[in-house]
Amino acid sequence: MNRSLVNLHARLGLIYGACDLIVTPTGEVVFLEVNQAGEWGWLAAECDLPIAAALADVLQAGYV
């Protein structure tokens, strides 16, 4: 699914997009939507991840 999401972002011309996914009771991962302004702050705080810095690097570089 990772490559599919990267391809989707490229086709949509998005440098950044937050994808909403769910996992079904049987373990299947299902794509719901992509948000150009999705929220990730809670995830960065909860998991102590440098998401803001990584996202800033991607946006400054301007690549998908």
pLDDT, residue 61, reads 87
pLDDT at 42: 92
Residue 38 contacts residue 20 (beta carbons within 8 Å):
yes
- Print the domain residue range for 52: 2-61
Mean pLDDT by 10 residues, the chain (64 residues): 85 88 96 89 94 89 70
Indicate the number of domains in the chain.
Answer: 1
pLDDT of residue 28: 96
Q: What is the pTM of this model?
A: 0.63
Strand, helix or coil for residue 22: strand
Task: Determine the Cα–Cα distance for residues 44 and 52; give it in Å rounded to an integer.
Answer: 8
